[in-house]
Amino acid sequence: MIPIEYYLLLSAFMFCAGVVGVLVRRNAIVVFMCIELMLNSVNLTLITFSAYFGDPGGQILVFFVMVVAAAEAAVGLAIVISLFRNKQTVNIDDINILKW
């Protein structure tokens, strides 16, 4: 029998690793992958609670998170491609046209 805290702690650790990646890495695609990592750690939390409390709502929500992640991947990568086409870089320090 595995205590529920173990799953939650693993998911918290993965979420924080994703936060470090988003804040520290400068490659837009790696930042993007770190966001996927954060989404997945939340998925793990949802499935953990769903399994321990016997409620299917958590697993259904994971489906919707996956749909949003797939849509986000398609649109986000399209944005990266069009940025690269315009500026020849994916370094997020160089992409600052929206900075006031």
Partner 1 sequence: MIFEQVVFFFLAAVAASSAVLMLLQRNPVNSALFLILNFFSLGGLYLTLRAQFIAMVHIIVYAGAIMVLVLFVIMLLNLGDGRRLREVLSFKTYIGIGCSLALFTELFYILGMKGRMPLMPLAPNAQDIGTVEFLGKVMYTTYLFPFEITSLLLLAAIVGAVMLAKKKIPE
39-78: contacts with partner 1 (CB under 8 A)? 40, 43-44, 47-48, 50-56, 59-60, 62-64, 66-75, 77-78
87 is a contact residue toward partner 1 (CB under 8 A): no
Nearest residue to 13 via CA among 46, 31, 47, 40: 40
Cα–Cα distance list, 47 to 11, 28, 29 (Å): 11, 29, 27
95 is a contact residue toward partner 1 (CB under 8 A): no
In the complex, minimum distance from the CB of residue 98 to partner 1, in angstroms, rounded to a whole number: 15
Instruction: Name the maximum alpha-carbon separation found in the chain.
Output: 54
Q: Which of residues 11-40 bind partner 1 (CB under 8 A)?
A: 12-21, 23-27, 29-30, 32-34, 36-37, 40
Specify the length of the chain in residues: 100
